[in-house]
Amino acid sequence: DSGVTQTPKHLITATGQRVTLRCSPRSGDLSVYWYQQSLDQGLQFLIQYYNGEERAKGNILERFSAQQFPDLHSELNLSSLELGDSALYFCASSPFRRVYNEQYFGPGTRLTVT
Amino acid sequence: AQSVTQLGSHVSVSEGALVLLRCNYSSSVPPYLFWYVQYPNQGLQLLLKYTTGATLVKGINGFEAEFKKSETSFHLTKPSAHMSDAAEYFCAVSERDFGNEKLTFGTGTRLTIIP
């Protein structure tokens, strides 16, 4: 158990809908990363937040957005869903020390768009 | 931009045989290097990492990897495969950029163990 929690574990929804994925980082970790794992694209970085602020952006679609709240949990919002958005979405958290910051991954949310 | 190449999307080895999973990276400066394992329907677990120091890195479950700068490689090995090693393995890199250590993953290698 990494200490990172993600809810829900599974999500099935229809095209055109909007969903919210939630991530609670390990206690004390200030950074949250979101990754998408799909058959087409593999594992790719979407976005990073540090202490409530967006810090880095990867291959995140405009239909997707994220935020990190004052209690440090993060949410990934996916809208106008398409079949191709079906994937496993992971979040990872890390501390913010002036040495290497290891990422700890949550168990993921499996999104199925029908 | 960084990239990772994993040679062989599927590797099969007999139980007790050597496991060798290959990873090459492309980066302007030596990055941080990682191997992650993913068991079916589970998340990613860190096997081992290279950040600095000794280039031969030992990880969990008897795995090790060697960072070879001249070959830009970070191959994963285990002397004797066990049935429980069957999983998907991902090589990853991140920049040496404090607080911005997003991971770039390879496409993964599915390891099958033959009894």
Query: Does A97 or A51 have the greater pLDDT score?
Result: A51
Structure tokens at A22: 């939630």
Q: Kindly state the percentage of chain A with pLDDT values over 90.
A: 85
Instruction: Report pLDDT for A98.
Output: 64
Report, in angstroms and rounded to the nearest whole number, the Rg of chain A calculated over CA atoms. Answer: 13
The answer on pLDDT for A111 being more than 90 is yes
What is the average pLDDT across A46-63? 93
The answer on pLDDT for A75 being more than 90 is yes
- Across the interface, of B42, B98, B108, the residue whose CB is closest to A42 is B108
Chain B residues with beta carbon closer than 8 angstroms to that of A58: 102
The answer on pLDDT for A81 being more than 90 is yes
Contact between chains at B44 and A56 (C-beta distance less than 8 A): no
Please give the Cα distance from B86 to B38 (Å, whole number): 9
User: DSSP character for A62?
Assistant: T
Contact between chains at A96 and B99 (C-beta distance less than 8 A): yes
Instruction: Report pLDDT for A101.
Output: 74
A87-94 and A104-105 strand pairing: antiparallel
Please give the Cα distance from B106 to B92 (Å, whole number): 6
Q: Give me the amino acid identity at B3.
A: S
The answer on pLDDT for A93 being more than 80 is yes
B110 — contact with chain A (CB < 8 Å)? Answer: no
User: H-type helices in chain A, by residue range?
Assistant: none
The answer on pLDDT for A114 being more than 70 is yes
Judge whether A50 and B99 are in contact, CB under 8 Å.
yes
Chain B: closest CA distance from residue A54 (Å): 11
Please give the Cα distance from A27 to A6 (Å, whole number): 14
pLDDT averaged over 10-residue windows placed end to end, chain B, 115 residues = 91 97 89 92 91 92 95 96 97 82 93 97
